[in-house]
Every structure is written in C-alpha cells, then in structure tokens.
C-alpha cells in the first residue's frame, strides 16, 4: 500500500478522511505546507464548506499553485465534496469565484437547475444510489452501490471532463464522480459511505 | 449509552462503542449519539467516545447533548463528529446556529426540537432533555432556526419518546409543512413497520430509531424488509 498526502487547508473536518484511508492500510500524512505536495504519489483534497472560502484558503496557503503543478506531473489526485468542486473552472457559491481549473466546467447551485419542479429538498443530505456511466472505460470504481452525499452545489462539467457516475435527485441527475486525466472528483463522501466507500478508496489507492 | 424513556428515568444499555460497531456492521445509515445528561460523561470523555466510534464506523455521526458554545462544538467536530445536534444551546442563544453553520456549513448543524402538545401554543418547544418548557411554539422556532442556518431538524415528541407507542405523525407532518430542510422523525418507533409507515405517512427524510433497536423490538434487517414492502427506497446492507 502506498503513501498518500491529505491536504489540510483549514476547511471542515479532514480527520475522518485520514481515518478511512488508514482503515484500508494506507500510509497517510496530513500536509499543511505546499512544498510537501511533491513528495506524494497520491493526494486527497477533502473539505466541506463554502467554495469561496475554500479557494481563498488554497490560494493563501499556496496549495492552488502546487496542486496545479502536481496535476501536470500526473500525480493521482482525489477531491471529495467541496474538494472536488474546487477542481472546477469556477463556482457561483459566495459570488462568482475562480477555481483550480483541473476540471473543465462550473459549479452551480442545484436549486437553480429547475427550482419549480425539482421535487427534492436541499441540501441533498443522505444516502443515494450511484449510477455508473455505461460508457465509462474505467470500471474499477464500481464497488459501491450507494453513497453518502451532503451538498447544495454541483459540478456542471464540460466535454473535457468525463462523468463516471451520477446521482438522481427529484427529476434531475447530477455528477457523482468525474475524472480528467489523473484527477478524480467524488461529490459523495467515500469516508462516510460505509464498506462500499472504503472499497472505493482502496481501488483508488490501487 | 443511556436510553431515556420519555426523556426521564435513564437506563444504561451498554457501551456506546460496542453498540455503534454492531449497528455499523449490520448496515446502519447514520449514527446519532446524544449525551442526554451532558454532565454524565463530561466533554472530554464524550470526545474520546466520538474518536473511538469514528475510528471504526465509516458512516455519518451526529453528536448532541450540552453544546452551548461554538467551542463546545469545535471539540466534538475535532473528535470526528460530522454534525452536531443542538437544542437547549440554540434556544438560549439562537445565534449559535449561525456561528456553527458559518464555520462548518449548514449541513453540519442539526437543530433538535423536543415538542410537547400545549393547549395555547399548539406544540411547545422543550429544553433540557424534555424537562423544561420554553414558552416558544414549535412553529415559530422552526422558521427561526431554519433562517439562522439549520441544515436538518431532528424532531422528538416528548410524550412519545422511548414509549414505543408509535411516532406522532401529525406532529411530523406539521413540521414538514413548515420547513424546506430535511426532517428526521426521532421518537416512538415500536416496530419495523412503524419506520416504513412513518416515511409513507409523513414524507420525512429520515427516521431515527432508539429503543426499538436497542431492546430488539426491530432489527435492521426487518426494517429494510418492511421498507421494501412499503416501497420506501432503502439502502441494501453491504457485504
């Protein structure tokens, strides 16, 4: 089992991600300095909270630049929830804010997609079935049926970013798992998705 | 773990860690740990319990009981809580809801409501584990708590809690009409069918089960089977 660095950028609770990775036998280091990113073959960007605050933290600490460099080097990077949304080009959460640009696409409020007949309450909180894209060439992540979600915003990817799985809410479908190159983003929380979530992390660790 | 019957007459039913691990291994969706006598464990030992539970149980964990300040919540989040449930602390300082939500997000703030029927107020909010009336109507509090940033309501009927007489569907339906955020119905479940029927009758987003599970009146397997029977979507247990 190889080494993985989990970014601590002052957004929400990262400890549970660390525990889940340790539970599958990974050698986990919490990283709070951007210079250290280069030491790790795998990086996790966790996070709950607001996009604008999260992005500001990444910029201030210096993670934004070093994450883009890591992606260019082909480092395997996993974003979870807000961590995944920060990969986008921009978000409307907290005013239009530029993201890391590791994914193509924008983050939008789920209620704006069709407020009148949306049919579900926000935030989307709880367990939902995950639908795996039929065209996905990469089937190794298909190890969880249901995942735990907690979000009001969602990624609207462009054609450069592959959607590996979706989640249905009301009469709409949203991105659950997306990938561009070696960068993977999960809208759900694998660290809170029981045994299926641990299996998913295990597959990502390789 | 201490289980209250009508939020009074507390019984010790076993170690929190053992019970949480048992439910987790059988596919529980979320775990809610309420320290009903906040002074019983003390903040430090409660944090230690949360650390132990979250080291072994990889589902969302909500923690409540005696949270009066943001600093109290900080300790529990740092220990591994995904959400905190607040009642007395929020009623005495409604600003606490927004303070926690700004730091951890609304999804991390569960406002617990202990409701008791009252001739004048309709339903009245109680604090201190259902012992103290507040003079505040549930209707007024739901709207205030939501506007201050609550992410979920955890609704208990003080009259039904731990009685296994069945949930008060009228109360749950009324609160669901008043709010747009997810609602957890949290008291009175007597058997597996009660869980499924509560979803069907009230359209609530979640059902919390205490006594019925702890005293084996219903198993998770029976609850899942009943939900499928009533066509309530339910997660399959993982292998």
Q: pLDDT digits over B62-114, tens only?
A: 999 889 999 999 999 989 999 999 999 999 999 999 999 988 888 899 999 99
- B221 cis-preceded (ω within 30 degrees of 0): no
Inter-chain CB proximity A12 and B80 less than 8 Å: no
Q: Which two tokens stand for residue B192?
A: 């597996």
Alpha carbon distances (Å) from B70 to A107, A178, B93, B134? 29, 35, 11, 22
β-sheet bridge partners, residue B8:
B5
Phi, psi of A77 (to 5 degrees): -125, 130
Per-residue model confidence (pLDDT) at position A115: 44
The answer to whether B205 contacts A19, with C-beta atoms less than 8 Å apart, is: no
pLDDT in tens, B9-27: 556 667 888 999 999 999 9
The domain A3-205 is classified under which CATH number: 3.40.50.880, 3.40.1190.20, 1.10.10.920, 3.20.20.80?
A: 3.40.50.880
Residue A170, pLDDT > 70, answer yes
Contact B29 A126 (CB under 8 A): yes
Mutation test of the interface with chain A: which of B205, B238, B239, choosing the one with the most A Cβ atoms within 10 A? B238
pLDDT higher than 80, residue B174: yes
Facing B182 at nearest CB: one of A23, A125, A127: A125
Mean pLDDT is highest, among A42-51, A57-66, B104-113, B125-134, for: A57-66
For the entire predicted model, the pTM comes to 0.91
Is the pLDDT reported for residue B2 higher than 60? no
Q: In the numeric block, which tokens belong to residue B120?
A: 């004048």
Neighbours of B216 (CB within 10 A): 8
Domains of chain B, residue spans: 2-229
What positions of A carry a catalytic annotation?
Answer: 81, 189, 191
ipTM (interface predicted TM): 0.89
User: Which residues on adjacent β-strands are paired with residue A27?
Assistant: A3
Q: Is A16 on the interface with B (CB under 8 A)?
A: yes
Q: What is the pLDDT of residue B10?
A: 58
pLDDT of A149 higher than 70: yes
Better-predicted residue by pLDDT, A133 or A147: A147
B60: chain A residues, CB-CB within 8 Å: 148, 150, 189, 192
In percent, the amount of chain A with pLDDT more than 90 equals: 74
Asked if A107 is an interface residue toward chain B (Cβ–Cβ < 8 A), one would say: no
Residues of B in contact with A193 (CB under 8 A): 58-59
Strands (E), chain A: 3-7, 27-31, 42-45, 76-80, 90-91, 97-98, 105-109, 124-129, 131-132, 146-151, 153-157, 162-169, 172-180, 183-186
When pLDDT is cut at 50, 70 and 90, the band that residue A111 belongs to is confident
> Under CATH, which number does the domain B2-229 receive?
3.20.20.70
Average pLDDT taken over every residue of chain B:
88
Is the pLDDT confidence value at B61 over 60? yes
- pLDDT, residue B8, reads 55
How many CB atoms lie under 10 A from the CB of residue B239? 7
Query: Do residue B59 and residue A126 have CB atoms under 8 angstroms apart?
Result: no
């Amino acid at each position: 089992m190889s080494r993985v660095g989990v970014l601590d950028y002052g957004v929400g609770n990262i400890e549970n991600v660390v525990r889940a990775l340790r539970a599958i036998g990974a050698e986990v280091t919490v990283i709070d300095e951007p210079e250290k990113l280069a030491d790790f073959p795998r990086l996790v960007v966790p996070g709950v909270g607001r996009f604008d605050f999260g992005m500001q933290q990444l910029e201030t600490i210096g993670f934004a630049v070093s994450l883009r460099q890591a992606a260019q080097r082909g480092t395997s990077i996993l974003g979870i929830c807000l961590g995944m949304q920060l990969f986008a080009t921009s978000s409307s959460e907290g005013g239009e804010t530029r993201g890391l640009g590791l994914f193509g696409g924008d983050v939008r409020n789920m209620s704006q997609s069709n407020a009148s007949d949306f049919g579900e309450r926000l935030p989307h909180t709880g367990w939902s079935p995950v639908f795996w894209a039929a065209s996905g060439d990469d089937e190794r992540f298909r190890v969880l049926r249901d995942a735990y979600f907690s979000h009001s915003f969602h990624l609207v990817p462009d054609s450069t970013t592959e959607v590996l799985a979706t989640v249905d809410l009301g009469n709409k479908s949203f991105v659950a798992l997306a990938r561009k190159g070696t960068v993977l983003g999960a809208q759900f929380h694998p660290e809170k998705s029981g045994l299926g979530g641990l299996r998913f992390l295990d597959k990502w660790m390789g | 773990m201490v289980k209250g019957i009508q939020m009074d007459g507390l019984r010790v039913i076993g170690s929190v860690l053992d019970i949480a691990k048992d439910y987790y291994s059988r596919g529980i969706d979320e775990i809610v740990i309420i320290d009903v006598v906040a002074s019983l464990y003390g903040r430090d030992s409660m944090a230690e319990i949360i650390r132990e539970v979250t080291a072994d149980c990889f589902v969302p964990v909500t923690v409540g009981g005696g949270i009066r300040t943001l600093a109290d919540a900080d300790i529990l989040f740092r220990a591994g809580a995904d959400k905190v449930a607040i009642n007395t602390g929020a009623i005495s300082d409604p600003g606490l809801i927004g303070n926690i939500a700004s730091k951890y997000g609304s999804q991390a703030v569960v406002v617990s409501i202990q409701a008791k029927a009252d001739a004048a107020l309709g339903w009245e909010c109680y604090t201190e584990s259902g012992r103290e009336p507040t003079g505040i109507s549930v209707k007024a509090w739901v709207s205030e708590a939501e506007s201050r940033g609550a992410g979920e309501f955890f609704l208990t009927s003080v009259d039904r809690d731990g009685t296994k007489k069945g949930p008060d569907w009228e109360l749950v339906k009324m609160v669901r009409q008043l709010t747009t955020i997810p609602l957890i119905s949290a008291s009175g479940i007597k058997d597996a069918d009660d869980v499924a029927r509560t979803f069907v009758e009230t359209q609530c987003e979640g059902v919390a089960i205490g006594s019925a599970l702890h005293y084996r009146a219903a198993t998770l397997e029976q609850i899942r089977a009943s939900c499928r029977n009533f066509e309530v979507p339910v997660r399959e247990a993982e292998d």
